[in-house]
Amino acid sequence: MDAAATPRSWEEIRLWRKQQRQALLEQRMAAPTALRLEQGEAAKQQLRNAVDLGAHRTLGIYWPLRAEMDVRDIARAHLDAGGIVGLPVVVERNAAVEFWRWEPGMKMSKGIWDIPIPAARELVHPGMLIVPLVGFDTGCYRLGYGGGYYDRTIAAATPRPLCVGLGFSMAALPSIFPQPHDIAMQLIVTERGVQQR
């Protein structure tokens, strides 16, 4: 498919997303570490300013990979304030993830793709999720790693948590060409500001 062409079929969109994902990941990982850290701190401050984290007893975060912003400091502050934190755990491929209770210093093991997960399964149900972004668009739709795990998890959650996508402004796209299975974030937060659906 020509890079300038608008993808129309799901097969074309899937190929386009794969290409965009690879390009955005390469761009993010090539950015200087100091710049990523500076932008990450600015984005996290935007998040703190935009959302009352204390209004949500249980916060779902992610373990940072591939030069993602590290939100464990936000998680620690939430724990210090009496909240609960959960990490996503893939227990079955192509299904919704579970969130297992996490605290700093606890025993960890490796889950699918060697992502660190709590060693003990203690289910929690986040009222808010901080979701990592590979890319995002003007409709607050998120481009992730392609597995669909967050879409399945959010779709299955009752009630649905507040979903906040966190990423770098360099990951902005005009559209990800959302499909019926894609679930938009309520907020997208970058170092430049907050985008609300």
Tell me the per-residue pLDDT of 61-79, one tens digit each, with 9 for 90 and over.
Answer: 999 999 999 999 999 999 9
> Scanning the structure block, which residue is given the tokens 């990951």?
171
With beta carbons less than 8 A apart as the criterion, state whether 20 and 142 touch.
Answer: no
* Secondary structure (3-state) at 72: helix
Beta bridge partners of 89: 98
Domains of the chain (ranges, CATH numbers): 10-196 (3.40.50.10420)
* Secondary structure (3-state) at 171: helix
* pLDDT score of 136: 97
* pLDDT score of 107: 96
pLDDT band at 106 (very low <50, low <70, confident <90, very high): very high
* Element holding 15 (H helix, E strand): helix 10-30
Higher confidence at residue 169 or residue 148?
169
R_g of the chain computed on alpha carbons: 16
* Secondary structure (3-state) at 128: strand
Amino acid at residue number 107: K
Residue 4 confidence (pLDDT) above 50: yes
- Return mean pLDDT, the chain: 92
pLDDT, tens only, 181-190: 899 999 999 9
- What sign has the CA pseudo-torsion 146, 90, 169, 34? negative
* pLDDT score of 2: 44
With beta carbons less than 8 A apart as the criterion, state whether 61 and 100 touch.
Answer: no
| Closest to 168 (Cα-Cα) out of 87, 77, 70 | 70
pLDDT, tens only, 24-47: 999 999 999 999 999 999 999 999
Beta bridge partners of 123: 100
> Scanning the structure block, which residue is given the tokens 């500076």?
38
| Closest to 121 (Cα-Cα) out of 140, 136, 106 | 106
